[in-house]
Amino acid sequence: MKSSFKILFEDADVLVADKPAGIAVIPQRNIEVPCLQKELEKTYGKLFVVHRIDKNTSGVICFAKNEAAHKFLNEEFEKHNVKKLYKAIVRGRLMNKAGQINFPIAPHPVKPNIMVTHPKGKKSLTIYKVEEEFKHASVLNVEIKTGRTHQIRVHLAAIGHGLLVDEVYAGADAFYLSSIKKNYKTKSTVLPDINIEDKENKELLEMNTTEKPIISRLTLHASELHFHHPSTKEVIICKSEMPDDLQVLLKLLRKYDV
């Protein structure tokens, strides 16, 4: 059975996929929920995880297809020999159009699965360069030299330019057209005469007039992965185009946020 996921590279040692946002790389607590690893294994057999990206991040993800390749790639990631590039759409305009963020990162002392910058945390390095600017947002090219959990999200939030959508680190679970379009009015269909005192009719009216978000997932995309092939040692470069939801967001920012 052919996989429904786009494959960027595949041979006897390695499989590189283009992960859509909304699916986790590895199994979660609820094993009934699909994950990329298990879905791909239905087509390609046993896969070994060598790195991860967040569930709500899209883009390039690499798996090993045998134990030898797994060992080699793990060592390459640990030695920081793998080049990892991202596109990030963030809040605001950065004063420094290119720079480095090197705050150490550690787990939150109380909240599980949350990371913070902390002097006693692990060494972390993020390099960024502004690619495009709008009135209230910017597109960054980002390279992470280390691979800490939530590194890009934590580092960008730490300099005051968190992702445009990131509920955990930037306090925004969605982005709306009304935030950039002047005199925005919610489009609604004409409803028949209804009694708004009726609970069901009230809910119908609210659904009809509530603005839908442009995007409600992390505005982060893993755009490129450069690594040495486990067998040939050739440099493999895998690239992923920005998906439709982020393309739509950029189109609207270019139209209304200039």
CA distance 197 to 39: 48
Q: N- to C-terminal Cα distance for the chain?
A: 47
Contact criterion met (CB below 8 Å) for 104 and 118: yes
- In the chain, DSSP finds a helix count (H) and a strand count (E) of 6, 12
Name the pairing type of β-strands 14-19 and 58-64: antiparallel
Whose tokens are 């990206």? That residue is 53
Contact criterion met (CB below 8 Å) for 62 and 15: yes
- Report how far apart, in Å, the C-alpha atoms of 148 and of each of 9, 153, 249 are: 25, 10, 27
CA distance 153 to 205: 37
Contact criterion met (CB below 8 Å) for 162 and 150: no
Residue of 13, 18, 54, 193 marked catalytic: 54
Q: Which residues pair with 128 in a beta bridge?
A: 99, 142
Look up 166 and say whether it is catalytic: no
CA distance 105 to 118: 6
Catalytic residues: 54
